């Protein structure tokens, strides 16, 4: 017996359980051979999935593989099919979904990707009535950034800052220092001995690197009060952490400062949080459009809002006077060719795509945004690198997530 979405029903499959109508009476009995009329009846009842048995001559493994491929292929609808990176991500996603199904996971049906009513939400800004600058200005006026951020930034901007200077600042915030120590002590950072003080962490990681990580963590705290009815914050930060992990792993392969890329991945979608706080109705409409029509979220935002989260994120980080190279990474993770350093922005773009690919077998709902072939070529990576970073991501993501969430 297989639970299957109605869009995956093939003529000849046999109904395994009775299907009840709206009044509780049996509409279709177990044992019925399914055809187009029965599928239409199930759709009229609002059933998204039913239990079936393979029909005569049908192989259950073939049915499962077809379901997996149909589900995964939807997430790759907007990527370049000739790009070897995405062909490999597609194959990796197939294997991950097959493994997840073997462990009891079931791919969501198309109806599950559609959504909830958003009429109860109201926007502070409407399309064409509020520019990104207005939204960011309102956000900054509404809530002040944590003082700890400015203290960290002062240390980061000073050419004479020492390990003791940043340690003194970080140690004034117990929550921040605890998260930093848990992070640098995680197997992901790979230090052979336990780091029991912020001073020791700074000496091993570096003043600028640890300061950048501290900036990322303090930024998370700024958005901790977003109501759960607006956004699933655990899902949001899990995606952000996946992107952070992939960005760090890819940066290492590029010989780039990996901790800056970890923070870039952590904050790459920060503009989405500002949009949800100020334009919840329109932002949710964009989300539902992206999910229902299986288009990249960044394109859905542009269609619904007239701009996207990268523009809002750039303005916000500029107002907060984030380091220019970090702002550049985040602002151009969907268009590396426009960045001052296209290769660095391409690292974050690839990390975002890998994070989306990793989520397919974990209930992800957004398609891969894709990347230009020139951006992929600029990284000079081998296909085997993608398999390795995916395996390393899987090995570390639970520990990293537990540190933050």
pLDDT tens-digit map of 287-305:
888 988 899 999 999 999 9
Backbone angles phi, psi at 124, to 5 degrees: -75, -25
pLDDT at 336 > cutoff 70 = yes
**Number of domains the chain is built from:** 3
* Among 222, 241, 256, residue at a domain's last position: 222
The Cα 151–Cα 38 span in angstroms is 66
> What is the token pair recorded at 349?
């773009």
How large is the average pLDDT for residues 61-69? 84
pLDDT at 347 > cutoff 70 = yes
Whole domain around residue 12: which residue ranges?
Answer: 1-58
- How high does pLDDT run on average in the chain? 89
41 and 82 in a common domain: no
**Quick one: how far is CA 244 from the chain centroid?**
10
217 and 90 in a common domain: no
319 in any annotated domain: yes
332 and 266 in a common domain: yes
How large is the average pLDDT for residues 370-374? 96
Lowest pLDDT segment from 14-23, 51-60, 122-131, 219-228: 122-131
Total residue length of the chain: 405
300 in any annotated domain: yes
How large is the average pLDDT for residues 270-293? 88
> For position 28, which CATH number holds?
3.90.105.10
258 in any annotated domain: yes
CB distance 301 to 275 below 8 Å: yes
pLDDT at 33 > cutoff 90 = yes
- Radius of gyration (Cα) for the chain, nearest Å? 24
């Amino acid at each position: 017996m297989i639970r299957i979405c109605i869009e995956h029903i093939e003529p000849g499959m046999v109904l395994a359980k009775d299907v009840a109508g709206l009044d509780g009476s049996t509409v279709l009995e177990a044992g019925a051979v399914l055809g187009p009329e029965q599928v239409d009846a199930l759709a009229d009842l609002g059933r998204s999935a039913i239990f079936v048995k393979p029909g005569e001559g049908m192989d259950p493994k073939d049915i499962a593989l077809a379901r997996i491929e149909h589900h995964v292929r939807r997430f790759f609808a907007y990527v370049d099919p000739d790009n070897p990176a995405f062909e490999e991500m597609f194959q990796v996603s197939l294997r991950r979904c097959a493994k997840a199904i073997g462990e009891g996971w079931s791919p969501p049906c198309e109806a599950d990707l559609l959504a909830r009513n958003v009429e109860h939400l109201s926007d502070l800004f409407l399309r064409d009535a509020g520019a990104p600058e207005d939204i960011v200005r309102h956000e900054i006026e509404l809530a002040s950034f944590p003082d700890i951020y400015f203290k960290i930034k002062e240390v980061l901007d000073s050419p004479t800052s020492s390990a003791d200077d940043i340690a003194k600042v970080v140690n004034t915030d117990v929550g921040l220092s605890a998260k930093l120590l848990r992070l640098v002590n995680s197997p992901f950072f790979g230090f052979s001995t336990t780091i029991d003080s912020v001073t020791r962490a700074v000496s091993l990681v570096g003043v600028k690197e640890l300061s950048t990580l501290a900036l990322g963590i303090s930024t998370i705290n700024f958005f901790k009060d977003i109501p759960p009815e607006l956004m699933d914050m655990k899902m949001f930060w899990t995606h952000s952490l996946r992107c952070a992990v992939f960005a760090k792993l890819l940066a290492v392969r590029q010989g780039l400062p990996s901790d800056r890329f970890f923070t870039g991945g952590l904050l790459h979608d920060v503009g989405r949080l500002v949009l949800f706080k100020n334009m919840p109705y329109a932002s949710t409409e964009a989300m539902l459009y992206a999910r229902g029509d299986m288009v990249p979220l960044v394109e859905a935002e542009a269609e619904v809002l007239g701009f996207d989260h990268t523009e809002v994120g750039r303005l916000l980080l500029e107002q907060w006077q984030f380091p220019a190279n970090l702002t550049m990474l985040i602002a151009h993770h969907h268009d590396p060719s426009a960045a001052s350093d296209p290769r660095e922005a391409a690292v974050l773009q690839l990390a975002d795509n890998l994070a989306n690919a990793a989520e397919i077998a974990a209930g992800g709902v957004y398609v891969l945004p894709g990347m230009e072939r020139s951006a992929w070529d600029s990284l000079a990576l081998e296909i085997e690198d993608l398999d390795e970073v995916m395996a390393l991501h899987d090995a570390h993501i639970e520990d990293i997530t537990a540190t933050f969430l």
